[in-house]
Amino acid sequence: MTTAERRRVLITGASSGIGLEAAKILLARGDDLTVICRNAERADLTRSALLGSVETCVADLADLDSVAKAIEGLRRNQMPFDALVLNAGLQYAGHGSPRWSAQGIELTFAVNHLAHQFLAEGLKAQTRAIVITASEVHNPSTGGGRVGQSAGLGMLEGLRQGPGAPMVDGESRFNADKAYKDSKLCNLLMAQQIHRQRPDVPVVAWSPGLVIPRTSEGFFRNSRQANPFGQVLFGLIARDLLRVTESVERAGELLVQLINEQLHQPGFSYWSNGLLGPGRHQFNSTEPSEEANDSDKATMLWMLSNDLINSLLAQSI
């Protein structure tokens, strides 16, 4: 590979799951990787799981002070990133009460959206393209988005309220599954807002499909605490009986495919790994939900998120 073909990728959420699989492929290809990990222990584990040119940077995405320090360090060394991959995410579906970030923001929103907006904005001068791992559940008209309460951000009253608001809409009672769907809707709105702000920068959002690894780790680990038997059964039925899941390895490949193919395509696109039938997926560029295409809401979400980040950081000085 020539130096020109070798890329530097900054990625969140590569200590596990889809991000880890993508990291392995990128490193095998000869790319340079910077992985943002929640703490030094996860950073050590991540480096030992990966072979190649990999650096780690510690930032707990549930703590804006920690993210601010990471941004400061990454800015100081002025390294340009060919792609900023905002992939980390969590969900607590099945849990009855909210968890809170270090600054008192509902955890799903804080990690999946707020910390990522802060990174995207804080590193914009060093970033040539952005890839955001969203989910089709942001869209109430998809299979996954129809199950349970739908995504919907209302007038963003919870965001205006700030710390202590259990839901972004400021109206509904806390529902962990909806909080996750809402955070993924925020990912799509943020992607389109960044595109409007910086039309020359390729911005890609994507949905990997349902990925349920066989291990006790992975995306459903928190939901398993709330309902161990139900989650094991759900995994067996979805993965082994109905075969509606995607493998974590394939999802990692799809993320790398986007980096390979979309890095030089200015504009916004959304890609979804849609289910065609048992064991069959198709990865296509597709339309986000109607709410995700609402440019006024995207602008408002960006501004309110920015104001919230700044006011929370100011309080911690």
Ligand X SMILES: NC(=O)c1ccc[n+]([C@@H]2O[C@H](COP(=O)([O-])OP(=O)(O)OC[C@H]3O[C@@H](n4cnc5c(N)ncnc54)[C@H](OP(=O)(O)O)[C@@H]3O)[C@@H](O)[C@H]2O)c1
**Among 30, 52, 170, 218, contact with ligand X (rule: CB under 6 A):** 218
Cβ neighbours around 19 below 10 Å, total: 25
Smallest separation, CB 144 to ligand X (Å): 8
Q: Does 90 bind ligand X (CB under 6 A)?
A: yes
Q: Does 239 bind ligand X (CB under 6 A)?
A: no
Q: Which is nearer to ligand X, 157 or 313 (by Cβ)?
A: 313
Output the six-digit token pair for 24: 């392995």
Q: What is the bridge-based pairing of β-strands 130-133 and 83-86?
A: parallel
Smallest separation, CB 61 to ligand X (Å): 4
Residue type, position 288, single letter: P
Stretch that binds ligand X, among 26-34, 58-66, 284-292, 303-311 (CB under 6 A): 58-66
**Among 117, 135, 193, 272, contact with ligand X (rule: CB under 6 A):** 135
What angle (nearest 5°) sits at the alpha carbon of residue 18, between those of residues 116 and 103?
30
Stretch that binds ligand X, among 60-68, 74-82, 188-196, 262-270 (CB under 6 A): 60-68
- CA dihedral 142→147→153→155, nearest 10 degrees, is 110
Q: Which residues contact 169 (CB under 8 A, 6 or more apart)?
A: 152, 153, 154, 155, 156, 157, 158, 182
**Among 26, 54, 64, 111, contact with ligand X (rule: CB under 6 A):** 111
Q: CA distances (Å), 289 to each of 90, 182, 191, 239, 270, in order?
A: 21, 12, 13, 26, 10
Q: Does 62 bind ligand X (CB under 6 A)?
A: yes
Q: Does 235 bind ligand X (CB under 6 A)?
A: no
Residues in contact with ligand X, shown as a per-residue x/- string from 18 to 57 under the rule CB under 6 A: xx------------------x---x---------------
Residue type, position 153, single letter: L
Question: Phi/psi of residue 272, each to 5°?
Answer: -130, 135
Smallest separation, CB 88 to ligand X (Å): 3
Q: Does 272 bind ligand X (CB under 6 A)?
A: no
Residues at the contact surface with ligand X, assessed by CB under 6 A = 12-13, 15-19, 38, 42, 60-62, 87-90, 111, 133, 135, 207-208, 210-211, 218-219
